[in-house]
A and B are shown apart, each in its own frame.
Chain A
Amino acid sequence: MTQFIFKRLLSGLITIWFIATATFVAMHVVPGDPLANAKAMKPEIRKNLEARYGLDKPITQQYVIYIGNMLQGDFGISFTQKNRRVNDIIREHFPISAVLGVLALLIAAIGGIVWGAITAVYRDRWPDSVIMFLVVVSVSVPSFVFAMLGQLGILNLNQWWGSSLLPVAGWGTFQHMLMPALVLGLGTMAYLTRLMRSSMLEVTSADYIRTARAKGLSPLRIFFKHQLRNAILPVVTVLGPAIAAITTGGFVVELVFAIPGLGRYFVQAVQQLDYTVIMGTTVFYGAFLVLMVLVVDILYGFIDPRIRVGKSGA
């Protein structure tokens, strides 16, 4: 197991280096000027600014410095927020995206598993049809539409209730997170529901379920003790990519709900050509993705005895 993790970590590091390089190249191909501002700048001042950000050096040297700093975990100073380091920005805003993402994933996973199981149990009957219709709608409606509808929903709820039941936007308490997380997790929930349903159906026709029935176990017992656990396994494998997709894909939700997450910073940074922030967040997210996939792989090993006991070290 240790060897397995070590190997994966190493390949993860190479992957991160690749991401860093790709970002660096993409960044320097981008037309436009990160230092430009609404007011024209004197060449002398420009030179000073270039020196501050190291843009005066040849590109290869910039690359070496950039990779070197990155290895020390230093992403430099933001171009737009002049007295903030990218590290600080990530440190302050990523946890928000992460909390939101984790909650969204939790909602998505629990919802996906529950709905998926229900649809499989009631296969081809009305609960199946209703849920699958909703699932299809959720995967087919763009997230930004849901975000807006979600906010309007809260607003109308509050107005109907007479006082603020849920905050319309903002960040801080659990109530703030509820709707954004729901909106954010909806697509993934729909995806997981589909996955869970087909996985459940596959399990339902599995021989060991027949065995369990032949043993005279009650349907409820069969469902919980035999079907669910086996059906969840394939669902777990996609959680790694899902959490990455959720945490990076949250910027519309962050924007609409005024959540100070990292995703929003990234989009702003792109629009402002804030080199250091763009590079920092991209590399950070890349590393996060790599890590998440690894974590889920290890987690999967704990859930599936075939991997835990069987092929340790593979």
Chain B
Amino acid sequence: MVNQINHIAALSIDDLRVDFTTEGGRVQAVRGVSLSVNPGETLALVGESGCGKSVTMMSVMGLIPVPPGRIVSGSAMLNGREIIGMSPTELNRVRGSEISMIFQDPMSALNPTMRIGDQIAETLMVHRGMARGDALARAVQLLDRTRIPEAAQRARQYPFEFSGGMLQRAVIAMALACNPSVLIADEPTTALDVTIQNQVLELMREIQREEGMAIVLITHDLGVVARMADQVAVMYAGQVVESGSVDDIFYRSAHPYTLGLKQSMPSVAEADHAQLTPIAGSPPDLFAPPPGCGYCSRCSHAMQLCQSRQPDLLSVDSGHISRCWLQHELSPVRQSDVYLKNAAEVHGND
């Protein structure tokens, strides 16, 4: 909770912990995540696959399968209201109206045997109590608004008759049907090709400007982050390892993982005219999380301490925090330079 507290956040998550019980044991998929996003702002949740970013948001939506999943502790306030631990009926009232979500693959996210218009109208009928005819008319408006040509005709079609980009627009239209205050977008553009990606992202921004909703954008594409985000939270092994404004993350990275991430992303790396460097090794086994920093074994900055102790969340700047011992006041790096440039430089300094 480092954000400005002068007004209520649209969505704020505090110390969320989620476990999955599998045959192999208990996986601690989310280990104390805290996030917050303000109305009209976009928070990008960044990290490699399996780091827990989707699980975090799905848990908030109540979409993780229970069992095997289980929310161990934590809270999530939607417009100041606790939504974790809500009864299924209450949660259903919130979902789709106050908070909605769009998913990665629009092809599979829509029911293949139901008309697009019906699928959008369904939300309206459930949450707004609209009659089918009205809801359908509204669905056409929504489709129109998401720049789908011949919306009235399109509403009568089935998902397989749409192209990928069109479908994602339709999904967005569906998510926006009830003017939610928070929109969670789980890698909304990964399945689309580049030109379409831009169109979709543009659409989202435009709607955000008009509606003033908060967006949580889950992605591993730093390019998308740069275009869209106001705030960024970097997740690794079920934890937020760094968070701050988009500038903080891009220009003043305070965690070796963020740095590694940047160097492995083509779009960012190219911009820096640097070499593309993948992060060696693999993330820790979350069946038995290491006692120290999860990134320790892959980190070129690793210190003795990192192996044995979890780093605390350390404040780097106002609104910029990092979960890394390097930011400790006793750390030699901290003493020399607050921000990490790149691995080579650090080692050179060493």
- Any A–B CB pair closer than 8 Å: yes
List residues of chain A with CB under 8 Å of any chain B CB.
206-208, 210-219, 221, 225-226, 229-230, 233, 304-306, 309-310
Tell yes or no: B101 within 8 A of A by CB: yes
Query: CB-CB < 8 A to B48: which residues of A?
Result: none
Tell yes or no: B109 within 8 A of A by CB: yes
Q: Is the CB of A215 within 8 A of B158?
A: no
Tell yes or no: B96 within 8 A of A by CB: yes
Q: Which 3 A-B pairs have the closest CB atoms?
A: A216-B96, A216-B95, A207-B108
Query: CB-CB < 8 A to B108: which residues of A?
Result: 206-208
- Interface size of B by Cβ–Cβ distance < 8 Å? 33
Which partner residue on chain A sits nearest B160 by CB separation? A306
Q: Is the CB of A309 within 8 A of B96?
A: no
User: Roughly how many angstroms separate A114 CA and B185 CA in the complex, as a whole number?
Assistant: 36
Which partner residue on chain B sits nearest A218 by CB separation? B92
Q: Is the CB of B126 within 8 A of A309?
A: no
B271 to chain A, nearest CB (A): 33
The residue from B62, B63, B92, B158 contacting A217, defined by CB atoms under 8 A apart: B92
Query: CB-CB < 8 A to A208: which residues of B?
Result: 108-112
Q: Is the CB of A211 within 8 A of B171?
A: yes
Query: CB-CB < 8 A to A233: which residues of B?
Result: 113
Q: Is the CB of A214 within 8 A of B100?
A: yes
Could you pull out 9 A-B pairs where Cβ atoms are within 8 angstroms?
A210-B109, A211-B110, A214-B96, A215-B95, A215-B96, A216-B126, A229-B113, A305-B158, A306-B158
Instruction: Determine chain A's interface SS by DSSP, over half rule.
Output: helix
Which partner residue on chain A sits nearest B107 by CB separation? A207
User: Roughly how many angstroms separate A229 CA and B118 CA in the complex, as a whole number?
Assistant: 15
Of B92, B94, B174, the most chain A CB neighbours within 10 A belong to B92
User: Roughly how many angstroms separate A148 CA and B111 CA in the complex, as a whole number?
Assistant: 45
User: Roughly how many angstroms separate A211 CA and B61 CA in the complex, as a whole number?
Assistant: 11
Which partner residue on chain A sits nearest B95 by CB separation? A216
Query: CB-CB < 8 A to B96: which residues of A?
Result: 214-217
Query: CB-CB < 8 A to A212: which residues of B?
Result: 111, 122
The residue from A210, A213, A219, A226 contacting B114, defined by CB atoms under 8 A apart: A226
B283-314: CB near A (< 8 Å → 1, else 0) gives 00000000000000000000000000000000
A153 to chain B, nearest CB (A): 40
The residue from B89, B94, B95, B158 contacting A213, defined by CB atoms under 8 A apart: B95
Which partner residue on chain A sits nearest B184 by CB separation? A214
Which partner residue on chain A sits nearest B111 by CB separation? A208
Query: CB-CB < 8 A to B112: which residues of A?
Result: 208, 230, 305-306
Q: Is the CB of B114 within 8 A of A225?
A: yes
Query: CB-CB < 8 A to A309: which residues of B?
Result: 158, 161
Query: CB-CB < 8 A to A219: which residues of B?
Result: 88
A212 to chain B, nearest CB (A): 7
Which partner residue on chain B sits nearest A204 by CB separation? B65
Q: Is the CB of B103 within 8 A of A211?
A: yes
Give 6 A-B pairs besides A208-B111, A211-B103 with Cβ atoms closer than 8 angstroms.
Answer: A206-B108, A207-B108, A216-B94, A219-B88, A229-B113, A230-B111
List residues of chain B with CB under 8 Å of any chain A CB.
61-63, 88-89, 91-97, 100-101, 103, 105, 108-114, 122-123, 126-127, 158, 160-161, 171, 174-175
User: Roughly how many angstroms separate A25 CA and B175 CA in the complex, as a whole number?
Assistant: 65
Query: CB-CB < 8 A to A207: which residues of B?
Result: 103, 105, 108-109
Q: Is the CB of A310 within 8 A of B63?
A: no
Which partner residue on chain B sits nearest A230 by CB separation? B113
Query: CB-CB < 8 A to A214: which residues of B?
Result: 61, 63, 95-96, 100-101, 103, 175
Query: CB-CB < 8 A to A229: which residues of B?
Result: 113-114
User: Roughly how many angstroms separate A309 CA and B96 CA in the complex, as a whole number?
Assistant: 30
Q: Is the CB of B122 within 8 A of A215?
A: yes
Query: CB-CB < 8 A to A310: which residues of B?
Result: 160-161
Which partner residue on chain B sits nearest A310 by CB separation? B160
Query: CB-CB < 8 A to B95: which residues of A?
Result: 213-216
Q: Is the CB of B113 within 8 A of A305?
A: yes
B126 to chain A, nearest CB (A): 6
Query: CB-CB < 8 A to A206: which residues of B?
Result: 108
Of A213, A214, A309, the most chain B CB neighbours within 10 A belong to A214
Which partner residue on chain A sits nearest B104 by CB separation? A207
User: Roughly how many angstroms separate A228 CA and B62 CA in the complex, as a whole number?
Assistant: 22
User: Roughly how many angstroms separate A233 CA and B171 CA in the complex, as a whole number?
Assistant: 24
User: Roughly how many angstroms separate A208 CA and B105 CA in the complex, as a whole number?
Assistant: 10
Q: Is the CB of B126 within 8 A of A215?
A: yes
User: Roughly how many angstroms separate A233 CA and B109 CA in the complex, as a whole number?
Assistant: 18
User: Roughly how many angstroms separate A207 CA and B171 CA in the complex, as a whole number?
Assistant: 12
User: Roughly how many angstroms separate A211 CA and B101 CA in the complex, as a whole number?
Assistant: 8
Query: CB-CB < 8 A to A215: which residues of B?
Result: 95-96, 100, 122-123, 126, 174
Query: CB-CB < 8 A to A305: which residues of B?
Result: 112-113, 158, 160
User: Roughly how many angstroms separate A214 CA and B111 CA in the complex, as a whole number?
Assistant: 13
User: Roughly how many angstroms separate A181 CA and B140 CA in the complex, as a whole number?
Assistant: 49
Q: Is the CB of A213 within 8 A of B160?
A: no
Of A216, A221, A306, the most chain B CB neighbours within 10 A belong to A216
User: Roughly how many angstroms separate A214 CA and B61 CA in the complex, as a whole number?
Assistant: 7
